[in-house]
């Protein structure tokens, strides 16, 4: 449900209705920091039906002139109400996405499938993919990709999913990604941008596809900034041993973190605890969905550094720690920090080095 809300609420011009209890509304509203609407169904409506409450909310929103999207949660799904028939007089987007149906990535995918997206081959430039409100780095990733694409004289078409709703009818035929856990499948995929090597590869492909693109500035920046990373990591390794690391996050970000730390810090990646289904990896990787298993893996692998969310930080209070995935409690985040692109790698390495240095100084 939260994945579906993250997808649809990312588009300006869509009013998103969470059809469920107050808890089903407040969880995504708090996590996504996006304007959402709720039906807030009560106990007697669970027994006698929620049609009246749903029609009241949707009817009120229909006067605002925005596209309406209704996302069902566990209670109406269990009740088996025919929501589509209830709302047949309204032209809206409907996503049946109760929490028990799957994870956040599946909900995101189901919501995208419900949107009428059209590729226009005459639209210049590229789409930016993987910008999900669930991802605290999404805004920074989009900002960084816009910067790099602008430097290469390549225009941006549609951003999935942080754009105006009316722009999805004219999306470009080519797409580059940020967070591969939230791929839209729109257009031909030209590659990701998590890590400097991936930036080089993707922008070389863009140079082949767009004859008027000039990627020399991006490639030159990638080389010079990578040299900075190597110098500062070598300086750390002259004083300390390479850190052992356990990473808990969605697979796309976890894999990026593992590759980056292995490459520049010669880190011993003890385990990737992937929150979603992982791909084939050269690192030890396990699909982990419970805190109990994360605790067991931290204890058995005994890493110097843990990378994850506030949950993992609570399990490893005495170890060096870096945040990479939600929830990120106890930290104020105002600036749009990237994880993708060149600046994303710089920011991540900086965060990790400061974390391990703080522990060493203690």
**Domain ranges across the chain:** 2-113, 126-215, 221-361
Identify the CA nearest to 242 among candidates 361, 358, 356, 359.
356
pLDDT at 305: 98
Cα–Cα distance measured from residue 304 to residue 354, given in angstroms and rounded to the nearest whole number: 13
**CATH T-level topology, domain 221-361:** Rossmann fold (3.40.50)
Distance in angstroms (rounded) separating the CA atoms of residues 198 and 145: 13
- Residues 93/8, Cβ–Cβ less than 8 Å: yes
Q: Name the nearest CA neighbour of 276 among 253, 260, 256.
A: 253
Question: Encoding tokens for residue 271?
Answer: 């385990």
Per-residue pLDDT at 100: 85
pLDDT of residue 159: 97
CB crowding 63-100: b at 16 or more within 10 Å, else e:
eeeebbbbbbbbbbbeeebebeebbeeeebbbbbbbbe
| CA 261 vs CA 27, 143, 240, 348, 353: distances in Å | 33, 24, 14, 10, 10
Superfamily of domain 126-215: Nitrogenase molybdenum iron protein domain (3.40.50.1980)
Tokens of 185: 């499948």
How many residues are there in the chain?
362
- Structure confidence at residue 300 (pLDDT): 97
Q: Report pLDDT for 180.
A: 95
Domain 2-113 fold is Rossmann fold (3.40.50)
**pTM given for the model:** 0.94
The H-or-E segment that residue 19 falls in is strand 14-19
What parts of the chain have a pLDDT lower than 50? Answer: none
């Amino acid at each position: 449900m939260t994945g579906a809300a993250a997808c649809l609420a990312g588009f300006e011009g869509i009013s998103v209705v969470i059809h469920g209890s107050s808890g089903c509304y407040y969880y995504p509203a708090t996590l996504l920091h996006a304007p959402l609407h709720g039906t807030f169904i009560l106990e007697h409506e669970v027994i006698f039906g929620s049609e009246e409450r749903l029609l009241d909310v949707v009817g009120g929103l229909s006067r605002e002139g925005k596209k309406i999207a209704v996302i069902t949660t566990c209670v109406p799904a269990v009740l088996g109400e025919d929501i589509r028939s209830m709302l047949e007089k309204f032209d809206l987007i409907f996503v049946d996405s109760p929490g028990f149906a799957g994870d956040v990535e599946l909900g995101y995918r189901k919501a995208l499938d419900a949107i009428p997206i059209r590729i226009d081959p005459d639209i210049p430039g590229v789409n930016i993919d993987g910008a999900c409100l669930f991802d605290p780095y999404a805004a920074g990733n989009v900002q960084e990709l816009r910067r790099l694409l602008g430097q290469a004289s390549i225009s941006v078409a549609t951003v999935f999913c942080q754009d105006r709703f009316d722009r999805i009818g004219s999306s470009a035929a080519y797409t580059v990604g940020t967070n591969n856990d939230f791929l839209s499948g729109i257009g031909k995929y030209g590659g990701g941008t998590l890590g400097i090597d991936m930036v080089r590869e993707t922008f070389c492909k863009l140079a082949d596809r767009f004859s008027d693109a000039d990627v020399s500035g991006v490639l030159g920046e990638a080389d010079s900034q990578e040299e900075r990373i190597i110098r500062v990591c070598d300086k750390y390794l002259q004083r300390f041993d390479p850190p052992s690391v356990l990473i808990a996050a969605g697979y796309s970000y976890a894999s990026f973190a593992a590759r980056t730390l292995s490459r520049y810090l010669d880190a011993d990646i003890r385990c990737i605890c992937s929150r979603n289904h992982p791909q084939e990896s050269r690192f030890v990787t396990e699909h982990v969905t419970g805190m109990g298993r994360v605790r067991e893996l931290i204890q058995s692998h005994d890493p110097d550094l843990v990378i994850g969310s506030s949950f993992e930080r609570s399990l490893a209070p005495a170890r060096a720690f870096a945040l990479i995935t939600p929830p990120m409690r106890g930290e104020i985040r105002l600036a749009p920090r990237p994880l993708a692109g060149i600046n994303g790698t710089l920011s991540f390495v900086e965060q990790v080095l400061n974390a391990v240095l703080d522990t060493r100084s203690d």
